[in-house]
Amino acid sequence: MLPYAFLAAALLPILALAQDGGISGPTTSPDALGYSCDPTKCQLPNCNCASTSPPGGLKPSEVPQFIVFTADDAIQSYTLDSVNQFLAQRKNPNGCPIKMTYFTSLSFTNYTLVTDWYVAGNEIADHTMTHVGTPPAEEINGNLITLNALAGIPLSAIKGFRAPFLNYSVETLQLLYKSQFTYDSSAAASIPVTDPNTDAYWPYTLDNGMANDCLEVPGQCKGQPKLPGFWEIPMYAFFDNLGVAGPHLMDPWLDAANGDSKVNDTATLEYMQNTFTAHYNGNRQPIGLYTHPIHLSTTYPGVNAPMSTINMINAFLDWAQEQPNVWIVSNEQLLDWVQHPVPVSQLNQVESLKCTTPQVDASAKICNGIPGNEEGLLSHCAFSDFPFYTCYGCPTEQPSPANPNPPQDTSNGQAMRHRLPSNCSTPFWDPIAGNCLCNSQTCTFTDNSRAIGPNGANLTGGGTGGSFNQPSQTPTNQYIPFNGAAPPSLLPMGAYPAIILAVIGALIGTIGVASNL
């Protein structure tokens, strides 16, 4: 067990820092925008103009209403408990469990839980190593390297970034582009969809520059920065009775509504429903619950989470899910649909919305992010300020931006663990034996290497720590995420029998989609 009392004290500064993400009014204006984009030249899937209309020319009535669910900061048992109290009991219209995006920072993160959360099908994204705004490259790339080394997350699976405090610059976006991220989600959609000047655009690429936060970020908008194929997924604010003067972006339930001085859950629920309805009855731009889960944890010592607020959020999600064609998704799932938009009648064909389960023998003793398999196999890395567990061997020192992948510590006599190589998938990789459980063509995976890391090294993962330049096996196939997030062309139905396409879930899904339309 972790020393909770000590962690509680140590986490207090993070708690204060976590009160980020507030906006108090519009972050852009028509004058500051200066945006132009030719939709005949900018076409899906790799280019999309900033637009309030749904992608692919679909009518709003043909479009699902997506609710994006994200969490930020360290991953610990009590933050996952907090997320689970909103999502674990829910399913999407296709019968699949809800997936979400966790923007993970590494101070106080327990790496084994990152592995588990990823293997359960959630998206792990980058939130810098030590939670700094306008981060240098080492903070952004170091997060990728450490999550790959100590949590076994494939480099290609870490696609997204959110800036701590939503504090980013043009340079931040350029760094993300250089490190081959797929998207950023730090910018605010700060004007209601009912306003003719709304900045609630569907996710778009920066081929023609940014179109959000034009008043906030120097050098942004009017065509800048041009980053072809790189996406912005705006964060969509809720608005209370004050309209454009009453935006609520992250953790809206922590704010007082309507200019009042005290938080009132009833008032929060009302404006969240009103904003949802405006999106739902309009162009169906996504809406988002952008959470710092520690505020709502009932298992974190020293945090007295208000049950009324937890119940209110669940009431909101219950209410939203009662309406047809509402899906709760991760950013990765949203973006996949935006790149390949299909009407709601065809959603049962969208691979990224399906649920897949890695087929690993329940009795196998393998440290792979599945709690039943990995029991008793975790290494405890007893660093004094924040201890953690991992499948992949303790480092000699805590990872830092200067050294995100320290060598393994074998001074206690433990054998070296093998890090995830580029051609195996997290649930199938045995880091103790250094063996991929599935070596056949049907379940061999290859990671797309990406140009990240110190000195622009072309990193592929693998090895045993201390260096990322020792790919241990020759890549063979395109890397296929087990959660089905690959483009359809890469994952034909039935082509990968080792990955169960959640047979029951898919069946229910087919029926569910059909009966809900």
Binding residues (CB under 5 A) for Zn ion: these are 72-73, 164
Identify the residue whose tokens are 């809406």: 287
What DSSP line would sit under 465-485, residue for residue?
A: SS-S----S---S----TTS-
> Minimum distance from CB of 131 to Zn ion (Å)?
6
Tokens representing residue 182 in the block? 């797929």
> Minimum distance from CB of 124 to Zn ion (Å)?
15
> Minimum distance from CB of 82 to Zn ion (Å)?
14
Identify the residue whose tokens are 């103790």: 432
Q: Which is nearer to Zn ion, 72 or 336 (CB)?
A: 72
Q: Which is nearer to Zn ion, 73 or 240 (CB)?
A: 73
Q: Which is nearer to Zn ion, 79 or 285 (CB)?
A: 79
Q: Which is nearer to Zn ion, 136 or 475 (CB)?
A: 136
> Minimum distance from CB of 22 to Zn ion (Å)?
12
Helix, strand, coil shares, percent, the chain, to 5: 30, 15, 55
Q: Which is nearer to Zn ion, 164 or 461 (CB)?
A: 164
> Minimum distance from CB of 274 to Zn ion (Å)?
27
Secondary structure string (H, E, C) spanning 97-152: ECCCEEEECCCCCCHHHHHHHHHCCCEEEECCCCCCCCCCHHHHHHHHHHHHHHHC
> Minimum distance from CB of 166 to Zn ion (Å)?
9
Q: Which is nearer to Zn ion, 386 or 445 (CB)?
A: 386
> Minimum distance from CB of 444 to Zn ion (Å)?
36
- Burial category of 2 from C-beta neighbours within 10 Å (exposed 0-12, middle 13-18, buried 19 and up): middle
Q: Which is nearer to Zn ion, 73 or 336 (CB)?
A: 73
Q: Who's near 481: CB < 8 A, 6+ residues apart?
A: 154, 156, 157, 425
> Minimum distance from CB of 104 to Zn ion (Å)?
10
Q: Which is nearer to Zn ion, 164 or 399 (CB)?
A: 164
What residue type is 27 in one-letter code?
Answer: T
Question: How far is residue 333's CA from residue 258's CA, in Å, rounded to a whole number?
Answer: 33
> Minimum distance from CB of 250 to Zn ion (Å)?
9
Cα–Cα nearest to 119, from 359, 296, 317, 335 = 359
> Minimum distance from CB of 128 to Zn ion (Å)?
8
Q: Which is nearer to Zn ion, 74 or 175 (CB)?
A: 74
**Are 389 and 331 a contacting pair, CB within 8 Å?**
no
CB atoms within 10 A of CB 380: 11
Q: Give the CA angle between residues 267, 60, 313 to the nearest 5°.
A: 25
Q: Which is nearer to Zn ion, 164 or 427 (CB)?
A: 164
Question: How far is residue 47's CA from residue 287's CA, in Å, rounded to a whole number?
Answer: 22
Q: Who's near 492: CB < 8 A, 6+ residues apart?
A: none
DSSP label of 70: E
Closest residue to Zn ion, judged by C-beta, is 72
Identify the residue whose tokens are 């986490």: 11
Q: Which is nearer to Zn ion, 37 or 100 (CB)?
A: 100
DSSP label of 300: S
Identify the residue whose tokens are 């051609």: 423
Q: Tell me the torsion sign for CA atoms 494, 479, 206, 330.
A: positive
> Minimum distance from CB of 386 to Zn ion (Å)?
16
> Minimum distance from CB of 176 to Zn ion (Å)?
16
Question: How far is residue 333's CA from residue 15's CA, in Å, rounded to a whole number?
Answer: 29
**DSSP SS3 for 50:** coil
Q: Which is nearer to Zn ion, 72 or 332 (CB)?
A: 72
Cis peptide before 225 (omega within 30 of 0): yes
